[in-house]
Structure formats: structure tokens, C-alpha cells
């Protein structure tokens, strides 16, 4: 058995993408993988309850507790480095990832975005706003993207995408839920499983899946 892929999962809120990872490891759809720890930038969120129920170590590192963002960033990287992880997973993480962390973990940080990048992404595009804009534009297809994180926002090499049809009468909340159920909770575990089993190589902006 080859060495398990060790994950640090960074969260900010409900943790439904974290739950999809926990469930994937439990049901065997994600192999060769273990969650070393969950790190939340917010106390008292659903993701922490999910980690506790799964017996996964969890830490809260809130920028508000530090005298500056730079000091927080250093503490965050020290915590992650201390865990000895192979991959950092941003699962509903609304934290600005410091460039120093991206440089320390090149093509070892992945993020899930609730749209088909390069659509509806970048500064200010997170949570419901993404779906509000998709509905406003009248797109017939939206979906989710898992990508490697680089120095720019939502701009790293794309690993997987999954399309979801917009339906008559969709509200942003209904659409968000469908994108989570039909896309996010499927491609995030699938991407982790591919990485854990050595199926991914990156060449510039191209991600090759063997
Ligand atoms: C949702 O907007 C989801 O689309 C995005 O992050 C938010 C919360 O995700 N990925 P989670 O339930 O905390 O995983």
C-alpha cells in the first residue's frame, strides 16, 4: 500500500464539501487518503461539528485573533506545516490564501468554485452571489470547478468541472443547492481520489488525467 495522501481541509462555514470528503473516504470512493486536520477561520461553524462527528482533529485560526494579517498568515502556515500534509483542500473556504502559502505548496492546494471557471469567478464571486449573477445573465448551464490554487483568484489550472442545467423558476438558493448536490459534492471527492492515486499531472495551465 503506497503512502496515504494527507489532507489539511480549510473551511469557513457549513462544511458540506468537507462532509462529501469525509463520506467519500468512509464509503471507499476516495482511496489512499486521510484527513490530517480541518482548519476553520471561523469558530462555531457547521464544518467544525462535522469534523467532530467524524473524529477529525480541528483547529480554529481566526484572523481577528491576531494583531495583523501578516502574523495570522504566518501562524496559518506554521500550523499547516506542522501537520505534514501533502495537499491543502479549500472546501467552502472564504479566506484569502496568502501568496507565501501558495509558493510553499505549488500545485498542492485545490479549491472548489461554484461556477464553470472562467465564468462568474474572481473578486467578490463567492456563495450566493455567484448564482445570482448566473441567473441574472440567463445562462442555461452553470456548474462547479475544482482547480489548483495559484497566486491569482480562481485562476489556477482546472482539474475537473461538472455542468448543471439552470431550471425555470430557479432562485439563487435553489440553484446553489443543485450545484452543490450535483456538482461540488461529486467533483471535489473525485479530484482528491485522482490526486491520491497519482492520476494527475500538471503542465502549465493544462491538467492531464491518466
Ligand atoms: C458554497 O457557496 C459552496 O458553493 C462553496 O462554498 C460555500 C459553502 O460550502 N464551495 P460548504 O458547505 O461550507 O462546503
pLDDT digits (tens, 9 = 90+) for 8-52: 999 999 999 999 999 999 999 999 999 999 999 999 999 999 999
- Tell me if 2 sits within 8 A of 199, measured CB to CB: no
Distance CA 166, CA 179 (A): 9
Q: Which residues, at least 6 apart from 152, have a Cβ–Cβ distance to it below 8 Å?
A: none
Phi-psi region of 122 (alpha: psi -120 to 50; beta: other; left: phi over 0): left
pLDDT over 90 (residue 207): yes
How many A from CA of 16 to the centre of ligand 1?
A: 7
- Tell me if 147 sits within 8 A of 110, measured CB to CB: yes
> Ligand 1 within 6 A of 16 CB?
yes
Q: Measuring CA to CA, which residue among 84, 133, 87, 85 is closest to residue 113? A: 133
Q: From residue 136, how far is each of 120, 152, 173 by CA, in Å? A: 11, 25, 14
Distance CA 123, CA 98 (A): 15
Q: Which atom of ligand 1 is nearest to the CA of 20?
A: 14
Q: What does the pLDDT read at residue 172?
A: 98
How many A from CA of 59 to the centre of ligand 1?
A: 19
How many A from CA of 202 to the centre of ligand 1?
A: 25
> Ligand 1 within 6 A of 112 CB?
yes
pLDDT over 80 (residue 171): yes
Q: Whose CA is nearest to atom 1 of ligand 1?
A: 127
- Tell me if 35 sits within 8 A of 53, measured CB to CB: no
Distance CA 163, CA 140 (A): 10
Q: Which residues, at least 6 apart from 106, have a Cβ–Cβ distance to it below 8 Å?
A: none
Q: Please report how the helices 185-196 and 16-27 are oriented relative to each other, as an axis angle in degrees rounded to 10.
A: 50
How many A from CA of 131 to the centre of ligand 1?
A: 12
Distance CA 121, CA 125 (A): 5
Mean pLDDT over the full length of the chain: 97
pLDDT digits (tens, 9 = 90+) for 74-120: 999 999 999 999 999 999 999 999 999 999 999 999 999 999 999 99
> Ligand 1 within 6 A of 127 CB?
yes
Q: Whose CA is nearest to atom 5 of ligand 1?
A: 92
Q: Whose CA is nearest to atom 8 of ligand 1?
A: 92
Q: What does the pLDDT read at residue 153?
A: 94
Please give the backbone phi and psi of residue 40, each rounded to the nearest 5 degrees, phi first: -110, 140
Q: Is 131 part of the annotated catalytic residue set? A: no
Whole-structure pTM value? 0.97
Q: What does the pLDDT read at residue 1?
A: 57
Amino acid at each position: 500500500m503506497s503512502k496515504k495522501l494527507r489532507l489539511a481541509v480549510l473551511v469557513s462555514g457549513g462544511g458540506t464539501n468537507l462532509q462529501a470528503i469525509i463520506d467519500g473516504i468512509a464509503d471507499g470512493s476516495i482511496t489512499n487518503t486521510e484527513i490530517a486536520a480541518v482548519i476553520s477561520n471561523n469558530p462555531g461553524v457547521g464544518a467544525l461539528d462535522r469534523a467532530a462527528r467524524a473524529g477529525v482533529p480541528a483547529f480554529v485560526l481566526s484572523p481577528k485573533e491576531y494583531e495583523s494579517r501578516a502574523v495570522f498568515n504566518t501562524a496559518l502556515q506554521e500550523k499547516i506545516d506542522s501537520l505534514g500534509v501533502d495537499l491543502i483542500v479549500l472546501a467552502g473556504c472564504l479566506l484569502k490564501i496568502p501568496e507565501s502559502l501558495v509558493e510553499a505548496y505549488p500545485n498542492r492546494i485545490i479549491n472548489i468554485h461554484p461556477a464553470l471557471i472562467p465564468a462568474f469567478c474572481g473578486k467578490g464571486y463567492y456563495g450566493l452571489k455567484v448564482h445570482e449573477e448566473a441567473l441574472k445573465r440567463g445562462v442555461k448551464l452553470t456548474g462547479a470547478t475544482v482547480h489548483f490554487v495559484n497566486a491569482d483568484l480562481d485562476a489556477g489550472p482546472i482539474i475537473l468541472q461538472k455542468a448543471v442545467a439552470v431550471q425555470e423558476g430557479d432562485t439563487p438558493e435553489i440553484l446553489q443547492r443543485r450545484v452543490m448536490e450535483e456538482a461540488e459534492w461529486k467533483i471535489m471527492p473525485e479530484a482528491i481520489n485522482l490526486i491520491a492515486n497519482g492520476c494527475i499531472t500538471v503542465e502549465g495551465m493544462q491538467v492531464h488525467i491518466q
